[in-house]
Structure 1
């Protein structure tokens, strides 16, 4: 089965056992996640103009928007950013407008066909003047490699969906910020969460003799 199958089973178990579900269905998790917005504003001194996030179960975009909203309500900020969430093209139920029974994408953490926080995600995008869109696996992997090569950041492929989304809107000339605006991209997971993709994308190990000559010869090829 997939993530959605597992979630259904876990929900049934928690209904019949003294166990607590701690994923995006748990309101306390979202309350914790919303503090990301607090930290961003604290670091930048103001809210960004746009915030790009990967969308799987949709808890992050829902919670982060809640954080910005509470900051504005408290008078700590006078505006909120546009929220742009990106699903993988093969696992984009919100973009398609219907649950997907068998989602497919290399970005395992967002391979979800029926997000628990669907309404929260569409609310965040709609209320902020943002959008929920999708990016292909090829675009995700390009952003994944870009982050490693240019920024020295080793994230899981699902995390790179946010940067893939930014690169996509830049290429389309549809950047949702004023000139000189500030954009934040959330990376949700370390690369070691999904190491198989990194291993698959590297050159194979070439065994050589333990001699200087063999080493220099291998380096020259």
Structure 2
């Protein structure tokens, strides 16, 4: 395993604690040597591991260890048996709302800490654990912090979490505190927290677990591996994913290219990255500039009710752009109103999700209406967080006395005659 800059191929140290951007501005990424891999033998091995219940290979991430971190010793793996999340067929109300006939939802919300972050965090913490680190850190709007705190607590290590003081979901902060993390609110944005850790982590003895850590991306690739495995290695036409820091889009794109180059799959599905209108610098970049080598313009004051998407300067935008181009993908942005209406439909279907996840259904609906996606095509929406991650959003939508939301399900007080 080599760790190199995704832009200029400058090699980094495998034992680094902070994988800061390269001098050229590119992020680091893992490069594997898959030469000599027998795809059919690997498929058989992955099938066999589905029977496992107690070893690290019972994890929906480490089941695919050969494609993620083959050199990592099993004794260093820190796992809560993450992954193994269901792929749900959409019911009729969901199909009608999306305007498409073939739709499934990958419920990453059913991970141990309630979000997709566990897929990447198990790989990052395992790498840091293998290097002997006992202090792990991140900047977070919520889900990353909860996941890191859970894994650090599991091995008796310390988590140090830097959270913006505004526009975050308090449920996620409370979850992080409950897992025992040291939580440091600060004035500023997620991006400010990243810059602080890039500068100070070495002196503080922190191993940084944000998405600038390339091991996070390797773990998150397992989401696409698991979708492909669940569908007998025949992927749909579209993968729809929410876009905040863009690490998930990057990971899914990297995973798709791995599967395609190795011969696990024989066609590349298209990726659609959905951002919220109040925090959509990547969507604007992809649509407003004609030069593919241009520079994304950060949004200084991002805001969306989908707090997990409230990121104005996504660190992984260059990688996401590359995978969008390789997969013939597109981007879209949706309003908070569209996000919350889609969330209400997903919740009422019995699946449930946090607002950021619902951006996928809202974006799919928009793309079908605008004829970017044909109603006969097949799509998978990735749901990234559990519905209880942000109960304030649920309360505001269903119990607001001033706003009549179209899918609100208000309380219905009655008088019981006893």
* TM-score relative to the length of structure 1: 0.88
* Runs of at least 5 residues in structure 1 that lack an aligned partner in the other structure: 215-221
1:110 paired with 2:309, answer yes
1:25 to 196, 199, 212: 212
Distance 2:253 2:411 in 1: 45
In the alignment, what sits opposite 2:350? 152
2:396 to 176, 200, 203: 200
Distance 1:39 1:112 in 2: 27
Deviations 1:65-102 (A, max 9, x none): 11111111111111111011011111011122211011
Answer 1 or 2: higher relative contact order, Cα 8 Å, separation at least 6: 1
Shift of 1:200: 1.6
Shift of 1:205: 6.3
The correspondence of residues 130-145 of structure 1 with structure 2, limited to 5 A, is 130-145=329-344
Distance 1:104 1:15 in 2: 31
In the alignment, what sits opposite 1:219? none
1:57 to 238, 241, 245: 245
Shift of 1:207: 7.6
Deviations 1:22-67 (A, max 9, x none): 1211111100000111111111120111111000000001001111
Is the contact between residue 212 and residue 316 of structure 2 (CA under 8 Å) also seen in structure 1?
yes
Shift of 1:17: 2.1
Deviations 1:77-136 (A, max 9, x none): 111110110111110111222110110111100100011111111112111111122111
Is the contact between residue 347 and residue 387 of structure 2 (CA under 8 Å) also seen in structure 1?
no
Q: Secondary structure at the match of 2:341?
A: helix
Q: Which has the higher strand share?
A: 2
Q: Which has the higher helix share?
A: 1
* TM-score relative to the length of structure 2: 0.48
Distance 2:253 2:227 in 1: 12
In the alignment, what sits opposite 1:213? 417
Aligned-residue Cα RMSD (Å) equals 1.9
User: Would you identify which runs of 4 or more consecutive aligned residues in structure 1 move more than 6 Å?
Assistant: 204-208
* Runs of at least 5 residues in structure 2 that lack an aligned partner in the other structure: 1-187, 286-296, 400-409
